Amino acid sequence: MHEYRRSNREVARTFRKLPTRTEWKVWRWLRDRRFGNWKFRRQYPIGPFIADFYCDRLKLVVEIDGATHDEIYDAQRTRYLAKMGIEVVRLSNAQIFRDADSAAQTIIAAILRRRPLTRPFGPPSPEGEGTDD
């Protein structure tokens, strides 16, 4: 679980109750592990920010950018999340509604880039085989 501002928890709860049309469409893709069996959370507070969609195992945020997004604020959020090892994928409202397949492929590509982070590591070889000693 990430640290977050207590006030953001209430804001996130309000956002979840009032999703935009675009957020609702993407949430239908991601909810209930429908997208590659990855668990995404909606309107998830991380530090001083609230991510539209977040998968903790992948350390992946999916952001929906509408007409009201502030580029400076978005850049600050992206830098903050990058310091935590979290990748941010941005999709525009227009892309989601005009070309949903392309938007979905963008998310899939990000998941495939992040997947190696979730691979379990095998135990070391008992005889030290495979080492450069």
| pLDDT tens per residue, range 13-27 | 777 777 789 999 999
| Domain boundaries, given as residue ranges, for the chain | 6-117
pLDDT range class, residue 78, cuts 50, 70, 90: very high
| Mean pLDDT along residues 105-117 | 87
What pLDDT, in 10s, does the model give residues 86-99?
A: 999 999 999 999 99
Q: Which of 4-8, 88-92, 98-102 has the lowest mean pLDDT?
A: 4-8
Q: Which of 73, 68, 67 is nearest to 88 (CA)?
A: 73
Q: What does CATH list as the number for 6-117?
A: 3.40.960.10
Please determine, for residue 125, whether its predicted confidence score (pLDDT) is greater than 90: no
